[in-house]
Amino acid sequence: MRLALRLLLVAALVGALGGGITPAALADHLDVETSLPDTVKAGEIVEIRVTVTSAATGQRVPGATVIADREASILGFSGRVEIARATANDSGEAILRWRERSGTTSTIVVAYSEAGETDLESLPISIITVGEGPQIVRSTAGIQIPGLGAWVIVGLLVGVWAIIQFSMVGPVQIARVAAVREADIDEGSAS
């Protein structure tokens, strides 16, 4: 489902990216129109179309840089991680694309700057409810080839050993002949 949102520009700047921009100057700078999928599962590709429009003129803004990042933490470190970046084309459209990994609810922030300007504006655009997905990356521990496994060697081994053991029938027969003959001789001598 495509969901078109009129987004409110939030005058909060991303600290790491920020220059000394006054919120007021930016607030009515641009309009952003995005398409958001309803729900995303971990491992799925998320594609968001962002249309950047100048609030002042109503014209599309080509060349604007659009960034998606999210809050993340690992090994005791937390911060924002950029997960996708795109540049608006001639009609002011940019497509952000990434493979969703977090698997939990995460906040997506889109930041953009008008071409030629170093200023960046950011806004939390939506909360995507993400369902739990399957494991995306697996530890393969080698490469499995269907049908090829230990049973091949086991089968080979059993076959070879069966033949070797079959050859042992020979000595047993030799011994049997001897035993029967011996018994016969005993019989003979006894009678």
Partner 1 sequence: MESLSAYQARLEEATLRPALRTTRGYWWLVTFLALVIALGVYAWTTQLDDGLVVTGMRDRIAWGLYISVFVFFIGISHAGTLISAILRVTKAGWRTPITRIAEFITVVALICGASLIIVDMGRPDRLLNVLLHGRWQSPILWDVLAISTYLTASAIYLGIPMVPDVALFRDRLANGASQWRSRFYAFFAIGWENLPAQRKALLRAVAVLSVIIIPIAVSVHTVVSWIFGMTLRVGWNSTIFGLLFVAGAIFSGIATLVIVMAVLRKVYRLEEYITEVHFVNLGYLLAAFTLIMMYINISEYLTTGFKLEEGEEFLFRELFLGQFAGLYWFYFLGGLALPGLLILVKRTRTVAGVVTAAVLVDLAMFAERYFIVISAQRVPLMPYEPFDYVPTWVEWSIFGAAVAFFVLLIAVFVKVFPIMAVWEMVEERKEHATEPALAIERGEH
Partner 2 sequence: MSGIVGLVLVIAMVAVPLAVMLHMRAAFRADREATETLSVQGVGSGDNHRRSFLKLLGIGGLSAIPAAGIPTIFYRATPDAVAVEQPATGAGGRIRQWTMIIDLRSCDGCQSQGTPPQCTTACIEGHLAPEPMEWIEVFEQELPGGGSQFIPTPCMQCQNPPCVNVCPVGATFSTPEGVVLIDQVRCIGCRICMAACPYDRRFFNWSDPPVPPEALLADYSPDHQIPASKGTVMKCDMCPDMARSGTLPYCAQACPNDAIYYGDLEEDIATNGRELVSVSRFLSDNDAYLLKEHLGTKPRVYYIPGHGERVGRDPFTEGREPTQWPWVRRVEGTSPWSR
Q: Which residues of this chain interact with partner 2, rule CB under 8 A? A: 42, 72-85, 99, 101-104, 132-143, 149-151, 154, 157-158, 161-162, 164-166, 168-169, 171-173, 175-176, 179-180, 182-184, 186-188, 190-191
Determine if 91 is a binding residue for partner 1 (CB under 8 A): no
Output the CA torsion sign for 4, 9, 13, 18: positive
Nearest to 63 by CA among 43, 83, 92: 92
In the complex, minimum distance from the CB of residue 7 to partner 1, in angstroms, rounded to a whole number:
53
If 0-12 CB within 10 Å is exposed, 13-18 middle and 19+ buried, where does residue 40 land? buried
User: 15 vs 170, which CB is nearer to partner 1?
Assistant: 170
3-state secondary structure of 70: strand
Determine if 183 is a binding residue for partner 1 (CB under 8 A): no
Residue 78 binds which entry of partner 1, partner 2, none, CB below 5-8 Å type-dependent: partner 2
Q: Is 75 left (phi over 0), alpha (psi -120 to 50) or beta?
A: left
Residue 115 binds which entry of partner 2, partner 1, none, CB below 5-8 Å type-dependent: none
User: 5 vs 178, which CB is nearer to partner 1?
Assistant: 178
Residue 186 binds which entry of partner 2, partner 1, none, CB below 5-8 Å type-dependent: partner 2
How many other CB atoms are there within 10 angstroms of residue 49's CB atom? 16
Is residue 66 within 8 Å of 85, Cβ to Cβ?
yes
Q: Where are the alpha helices (DSSP H) in the chain?
A: 23-27, 150-167, 169-190
Tokens representing residue 177 in the block: 């002949």
In the complex, minimum distance from the CB of residue 3 to partner 2, in angstroms, rounded to a whole number:
23
Determine if 181 is a binding residue for partner 1 (CB under 8 A): yes
Residue 160 binds which entry of partner 2, partner 1, none, CB below 5-8 Å type-dependent: partner 1
The strand ranges marked E within the chain are 4-6, 30-35, 39-41, 45-54, 65-74, 77-87, 93-99, 106-113, 121-131
Determine if 146 is a binding residue for partner 1 (CB under 8 A): no
Residues that bind partner 1 (CB under 8 A): 149-150, 153-154, 157, 160-161, 163-164, 166-171, 173-175, 177-179, 181-182
